């Protein structure tokens, strides 16, 4: 398949007039403030010092004069070290366009010529150092492109595809301005753009969090309003119970409803009352009064919960409005200080803090793996989460599952990929481990149930590690057996 043709080249900036401070200037220092930015400091007699920024950021890729001071600070990245050894002390020879989106800065130093090539290519923008023979020495980025390999020592080849800039500042704004005044205006525009992007990057997820909270609270209001409507029907259930008492003689087991005259209303209109067909008449009457008492007691609580939910929803709505109105990062950070204690995640978003890295897991943590005298792997969970993992993620249908009968304890699984019957010694060793890692360890003997994993099920809606099982058998295990101690001493725990 032939390579894709490059995008049509946009028109080059008219003239590409250089700032006099760059032409013929000497490179005094090279800095790399971050992984996508390089700054050259230059000096030219009569023009003084200047700083020049190369950016390969997806949105802000450009080359131009900057008035923000860069410092060396710390060990420089490898790319920066290459530039320092070849460009510092050199003299700028020329700046030319190899393509309307490819800019080349030539520097002569030590009798050799070096070329710094900036490719303005949106997400694939790059900065490359070439030697005098136009061969690649090093690249700032190594984007994964199937039709282009950035191999040191190879002749430079332009990208096969150069992406245009559909929005934002135009292409001409990504080149050096012709003088210092224009350069300051251009950098001011870039800084405003960067500030706006930083504000949006921090505000957008915070707004998303606020709107998600509002959506959740609206659902809660709907549910609580339904509960309140049910609570206001309490009197209706009391009246139904009294009517059923009056007409108790007409109630029969198995009835799903009964239609009787409402003696509490003028004209005694008929009313239909639903019944529980499996319940006796007295149970159906008590069911009405029980529901009456429950809904009457719940009424004040439901009203308080509805008011509190509406207040919370109003607070989130006000926060969302203030987030939309915030026009700077300090304004967002000020909002973070006013959040309640429970809003830690949103507070970190507004402050721009990254979540703290989780501490490295203790190597001794996690399900244990032991081996029986017959060579079968035995997995032992040591917490509810590990029990769930051992049983439902690591075990297969034909593996054998063990648990101390009637007491909390570890799930123990014997891996059985062959599907054959387990040797008696392996059965007993697994039962010993299940008894030992249970709350019945101190007992003289423990009944241990065991079944194939395919007969073990999670409890619907239960906590991790809660299971039911069927087709089980039972072994009697003695956790203080000398043979158990031999098993514990013979095998070493290992992370499963």
Interval 378-400: pLDDT, tens: 999 988 989 999 999 999 999 99
For the segment 192-218, the average pLDDT, to the nearest whole number, is 87
Residue 102: partners with Cβ closer than 8 Å, 6 or more residues away: 117, 118, 119, 120, 158, 162
Asked whether residue 309 carries a pLDDT value surpassing 60, the answer given is yes
Segment 260-287, tens digit of pLDDT: 998 888 888 998 988 988 888 888 888 8
List the Cα angle 359/437/480 in 5-degree steps: 140
Please report the pLDDT score of residue 132 as a whole number: 92
Q: Fold for 26-163, please state it.
A: ibrinogen binding protein from staphylococcus aureus fold (2.30.310)
Coil, strand or helix at 25: coil
Bigger pLDDT: 362 vs 349: 349
Please report the pLDDT score of residue 10 as a whole number: 52
For the segment 75-102, the average pLDDT, to the nearest whole number, is 92
Please report the pLDDT score of residue 13 as a whole number: 54
- Give 194's strand partners: none
Bigger pLDDT: 158 vs 353: 158
Least confident of 34-43, 202-211, 299-308, 357-366: 357-366
Closest CA to 122 of 157, 190, 174: 174
Tokens of 39: 């700054």
Bigger pLDDT: 357 vs 484: 484
Measured in residues, the chain has a length of 496
Please report the pLDDT score of residue 11 as a whole number: 52
Instruction: Read off the pLDDT band of 486 (50, 70, 90).
Output: low
Closest CA to 95 of 38, 30, 32, 16: 16
Closest CA to 435 of 453, 409, 460: 409
Residue 373: partners with Cβ closer than 8 Å, 6 or more residues away: 425, 426, 429, 487
> If phi over 0 gives left and psi between -120 and 50 gives alpha, with beta otherwise, what is residue 254?
left
Work out the number of other CB atoms within 10 angstroms of the CB of residue 19.
21
Instruction: Read off the pLDDT band of 253 (50, 70, 90).
Output: confident
Please report the pLDDT score of residue 145 as a whole number: 67
Asked whether residue 6 carries a pLDDT value surpassing 50, the answer given is no
Please report the pLDDT score of residue 3 as a whole number: 43
Please report the pLDDT score of residue 490 as a whole number: 54
Q: Where are the domains of the chain?
A: 26-163, 226-351, 368-490
What CA–CA distance (Å, rounded) separates 324 from 314? 15
Tokens of 4: 């894709």
């Amino acid at each position: 398949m032939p390579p894709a043709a490059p995008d049509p080249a946009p028109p080059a900036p008219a003239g590409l007039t250089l700032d006099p401070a760059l032409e013929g200037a000497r490179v005094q220092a090279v800095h790399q403030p971050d992984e996508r930015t390089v700054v050259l400091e230059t000096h030219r007699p009569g023009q003084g010092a200047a700083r020049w920024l190369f950016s390969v950021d997806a949105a802000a890729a450009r080359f131009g004069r900057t008035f923000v001071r860069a410092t060396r600070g710390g060990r420089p990245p490898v790319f920066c070290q290459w530039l320092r050894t070849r460009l510092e002390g050199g003299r700028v020879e020329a700046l030319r366009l190899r393509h309307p989106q490819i800019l080349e800065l030539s520097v002569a130093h030590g009798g050799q010529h070096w070329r710094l090539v900036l490719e303005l290519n949106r997400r694939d923008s790059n900065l490359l150092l070439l030697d005098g023979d136009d061969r690649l020495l090093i690249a700032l980025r190594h984007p994964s492109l199937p039709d282009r390999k950035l191999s040191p020592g190879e002749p430079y080849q332009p990208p096969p595809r150069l992406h245009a800039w559909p929005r934002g500042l135009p292409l001409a704004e990504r080149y050096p301005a012709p003088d210092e005044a224009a350069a300051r205006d251009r950098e001011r525009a870039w800084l405003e753009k960067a500030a706006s992007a930083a504000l949006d990057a921090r505000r957008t997820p915070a707004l998303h969090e606020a709107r998600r909270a509002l959506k959740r609270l609206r659902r809660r209001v709907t549910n609580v309003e339904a509960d309140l409507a049910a609570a206001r029907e309490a009197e209706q259930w009391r009246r139904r119970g009294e009517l059923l008492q009056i007409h108790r003689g007409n109630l029969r087991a198995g009835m799903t409803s009964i239609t009787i005259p409402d003696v509490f209303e003028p004209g005694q209109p008929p009313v239909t009352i639903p019944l529980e067909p499996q319940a006796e008449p007295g149970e159906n009457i008590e069911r009405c009064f029980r529901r009456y008492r429950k809904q009457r007691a719940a009424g004040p609580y439901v009203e308080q919960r509805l008011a509190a939910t509406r207040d919370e929803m109003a607070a989130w709505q006000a926060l969302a409005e203030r987030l939309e109105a915030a026009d700077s990062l300090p304004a967002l950070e000020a909002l973070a200080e006013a959040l309640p204690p429970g809003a830690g995640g949103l507070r970190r978003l507004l402050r721009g803090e990254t979540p703290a890295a989780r501490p490295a897991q203790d190597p001794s943590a996690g399900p244990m793996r032991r081996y029986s005298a017959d060579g079968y792997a035995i997995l032992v969970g040591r917490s509810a989460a590990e029990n769930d993992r051992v049983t439902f993620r690591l075990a297969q249908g034909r593996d054998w599952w063990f648990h101390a009968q009637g007491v909390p304890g570890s799930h123990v699984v014997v891996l059985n990929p062959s599907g054959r019957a387990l040797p008696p010694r392996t059965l007993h060793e697994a039962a010993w481990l299940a008894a030992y890692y249970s709350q019945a360890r101190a007992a003289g003997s423990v009944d241990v149930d065991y079944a194939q994993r395919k007969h073990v099920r999670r409890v619907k809606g239960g906590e991790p590690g809660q299971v039911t099982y069927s087709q089980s058998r039972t072994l009697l295990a003695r956790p203080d057996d000398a043979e158990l101690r031999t098993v514990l001493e013979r095998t070493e725990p290992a992370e499963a």
